[in-house]
Amino acid sequence: MGKYSREELESAFKHYWRTGAVGEDWDAWADLFTEDATYHERILGT
């Protein structure tokens, strides 16, 4: 059994999706990552 419920995961993903891909608020989207995260963009690179 996972640590997070399906509802919690779906809610978090919807927020992630709506902030970035739908809302194009890239500053707010970047704030969703931890400080030590390295994001690798699949088209533009790191």
Distance CA 8, CA 11 (A): 5
pLDDT digits (tens, 9 = 90+) for 15-28: 999 999 999 999 99
- pTM summary value: 0.74
Strand, helix or coil at 1?
A: coil
What per-residue confidence (pLDDT) applies to 20? 95
Distance CA 40, CA 14 (A): 21
Q: Which domain does 39 fall in, by range?
A: 1-46
Number of structural domains found in the chain:
1
Question: Cα Rg for the chain, rounded, in angstroms?
Answer: 13
pLDDT digits (tens, 9 = 90+) for 28-38: 999 999 999 99
Q: How many helices (H) and strands (E) does the chain have?
A: 2, 0
CA angle 22, 36, 32 (to 5 degrees): 25
